[in-house]
Structure 1
Amino acid sequence: MHGAFPRLDIGTLSEYREDHIMIARFSDYRHEHQSLVFPHRHSFYHLVLFTEGRGPHTIDFHRFQAEPFQVYFMIPGQVHSWDFDEELEGYVVNFSDSFFKSFLLQPEYLDSFSFFDQDSSNNVVTLSENIRARVSGLFEELLSQNERATAWRDDIVRVLLLQIFLLIEQSDSVDRKKSAEKSKNPTVRNFIRLIDKHYDRLRLPGQYAEMLNVTPNHLNALCKEHVGRQAGELIRNRIVLEAKRLLINLDLTVSQIAYKLNFSDNSYFTKFFRKETGMTPEDFRKSPAI
């Protein structure tokens, strides 16, 4: 493991230094960015469809075995790495958080898809056989459109990406129950979105309930009904996730991480982390999970 992991922007990964979209074949992308085997996080959405080859891939400490016709959906901020011994082929698309917002009336539209999720166990989808050819064809069309310098290019790319997302979301490739749960209740969706913005400052369900104009009891009941967890647990899980992401950066001390997460002192952070994970921050740094 390296001493630090970088936060990458699209411009650093694009031949054309564009800051909103990048599309490439996976073999070309991997060849040009061979250093990306170490843990790193993106400031953009990162989408990969594998069509050939196999190998281990990790997203936020969940380890997966990449194989043909798996799609990996990663959202901004997630930490991931791969360790591929063999040649893999497929497609990779990077796009900024703002790429769709100027195009869609609903700015948070992407959040409605089950695979664009903070829980990395939902980020990997194996395509059902009946849509594989169609999805691959849409990725080929993305590559083709990306090479054209036309006034409508970006809008065509947006439409093609939305076709891919909708096709996968409505297919047998995704867990119907998880998909329905994510789109079912707007209050829970907004709560999770608020946690992602304020987890380092707001720790109590009541603080979020006030922002959502509901009572703490009602918010808790909605969370238990729709995601099977209490509101406080969702907040704590997000804090733990960010703590883990920071802990793999060995350039940061545990005390510095505690400060970044707004814990009053190192001992309080250590006590919190141990209660939630069963290990100390130092033990986590030594574990195979990273």
Structure 2
Amino acid sequence: MTKDNNKEQYIDYDFILGKGIADYSDGDIVVIEKIGAKPIEGTVKLDMVLMIYCLKGRIQGEINGKTWLAEEGDVVICLPNSYLSNYMMTPDFDSRIIGLSYDAILNNIPMTKDALDLLSYVSKNPIIHLDAERQDLINKYYSIIDHKIKQPHNLFHKEIMHSIFTCAVFELCAIIAPHVNYTRDGGTMKQANLLFHKFINLLSKNEGRTCSVKKYAEELCITPKYLSFICKQVSGKTALEWIHEYTIKSIERYLKHSNLSIKEIADRLGFPNLSFFGKFTKNYLGVSPTEYRRQQSMKKEV
């Protein structure tokens, strides 16, 4: 979507698709081979992760009010809720751009403490320089991606693409990791990040069972309002959105990989009745639990 408010644009996955500039898209990931040469007027706010790999030339712009310059061999990583403005490029600028939706991030990158530390580092240091060896490595990944984009979309195409992207993202994480000051219990992690990490740990231990924001807040000895504020500040999503993300991932796992009945899954995850479970699942997966399981079974039989 996009909205005009003092020339501010709100950019997400759907906006990019609507512009018709994606060379590949699958619902979670977009690949763009050429960035537009027209400078941004006003401000752009991102609702996704955007990674720009500079192949040639230079690009300069403002990220969250701070000016950055990226040159050949640099990767620019813009996190959700970043504000971009006033970018300009040299005439010879060439790049490859990958956009990841929230779902792609959640499904491929475990939200561990180390991952949160890494994201915190990237938010302050969005330009990652690659030496010649690592440029060659990333170029090899992109060659595989480019090859798969140009192939007909065969069986498991999306799964293959996601696996390649996941490997490439973790390669970047490995490059960034030595520069990150990882925190441990009793370390220098800011209170908000520490509380958010504890909240994510509680979600993981709860294994997707439905639970109110109030219940998690009580376990953390803070108010529900403050918990949601922390989650929004650190991750861009509210506490309730995180709870629902973990619940729907558990629903998908049980429907795909278990022989539990629909009622048994609903009971295990703490839903009050089958009707509510069905409405919740359809709202997030687009179909009823029974239909989703049927679709997954059909994929296995092909």
SS in 2 for 1:50: strand
The answer to whether residue 146 in structure 2 is matched with residue 138 in structure 1 is no
TM superposition shift of 1:116:
3.4
Q: Deviation at 1:40?
A: 0.3
Task: Give 1 or 2 for the bigger CA radius of gyration.
Answer: 2
Q: Indicate the SS of the match to 1:76.
A: coil
1:46 to 44, 47, 50: 50
Q: Residue 116 of structure 1 aligns with which residue?
A: 119
Q: 1:124 to 1:103 in 2, by over 3 A?
A: closer
Shift of 1:5: 0.9
Report the secondary structure of 2:77's partner residue.
Answer: strand
Tell me the equivalent position of 2:14.
11
Q: C-alpha separation between the residues in 1 aligned to 2:73 and 2:184?
A: 24
TM-score (norm 1): 0.55
More contact order relative to length (CA 8 Å, sep ≥ 6): 1
Aligned partners of 2:96 and 2:113: how far apart in 1?
20
The match for 1:76 is 80
Equivalent residues in 2 for 1:53-202 (5 A)?
53-81=57-85, 82-102=87-107, 106=110, 108=111, 112=115, 116-117=119-120, 120-148=123-151, 149-171=153-175, 173-178=176-181, 180-181=182-183, 189=193, 191-192=195-196
CA contact (8 A) 1:54 1:68 kept: yes
Change (3 A) 1:116 1:156: farther
The letter for the 1-side match of 2:104 is F
Q: 1:141 to 1:54 in 2, by over 3 A?
A: same
Cα RMSD for the two superposed structures: 4.2
Q: Residue 35 of structure 1: CA displacement? A: 5.8
Q: Identity over the aligned pairs, expressed in percent? A: 9
Would you say the 8 A contact 1:112–1:182 is kept in 2? no
1:56 CA drift (Å) = 1.2
Three-state SS of the structure 2 residue aligned to 1:156 is: helix
Is the contact between residue 146 and residue 153 of structure 1 (CA under 8 Å) also seen in structure 2? no
Shift of 1:68: 1.0
Q: Which residue of 1 aligns with 2:35?
A: 29
Question: How many residue pairs align between the two structures?
Answer: 202
**1:220 aligned partner:** none
C-alpha displacement of 1:44: 1.4
**1:3: Cα distance to partner?**
2.5
The 1-side partners of 2:180 and 2:192 are apart by 15
